Amino acid sequence: MSEEDRNAEHAKAMHALQAEQEAILAQKREGQGLLMVHTGDGKGKSTAAFGMVTRALGWGFKVGVVQYIKGNWITGERQFLARFPDQVSYAVMGEGFTWDVADRERDIAAARAAWARSLEMIADPDLTLVVLDELNIALGYEYLDADEVVAGLKARPAEKHVCVTGRNAPPQLLAAADLVTEFRAVRHPFDAGFKAQRGIDF
């Protein structure tokens, strides 16, 4: 087959693919507020959520972020998003990793306060996207009742996007979500003896 014939075959295949995609899109409805879950044991759950935050900011939307567990640990995303005080409501509600605090009652109180703030952001009509970072960890330790949280997320305004991150998302949340992505660990530099690095891990 000549290059000219190969190019013609390629163009024909691409036109057919385009027609197929247009037919599929014609059957789809307009979007609505999504409940998204990033879970799994791999790196990138929060990273992907903050990628959506930058997309939302790019369109001029306002965003809310509630960070569970992590505490006042300085991160690149937190420092960057502080540059957008009119567009981003950022609440750091945890007291640090559970082994740092080692006080279950304090962890529960912090998680409850974070959930209350989360509900405020979800109800705020000015916020298009709300990221609940590491909420799954708080659910996994049973600092919050999973059924209560899922009920609150289901009751969100129809246009509200919510993204929940953290490993070991409970089954109730997975069942309620519109989008679930599982991040799978294949290799991580920590296992090879490297500490977390600025600009990559935090």
d(CA 17, CA 63): 36
For the segment 21-60, what is each residue's pLDDT rounded down to a tens digit? 877 767 756 778 999 999 999 999 999 999 999 999 999 9
Beta bridge mates, 36: 163, 179
pLDDT at 99 over 70: no
Task: Choose between 71 and 66: higher pLDDT.
Answer: 66
Tokens standing for 190?
Answer: 């920590």
Q: Which fold has domain 32-192?
A: Rossmann fold (3.40.50)
Beta bridge mates, 38: 165, 181
The domain ranges of the chain are 1-30, 32-192
3-class DSSP state of 92:
strand
What pLDDT band is residue 100 in, cutting at 50, 70 and 90?
low
d(CA 133, CA 65): 7
Element holding 154 (H helix, E strand): helix 146-154
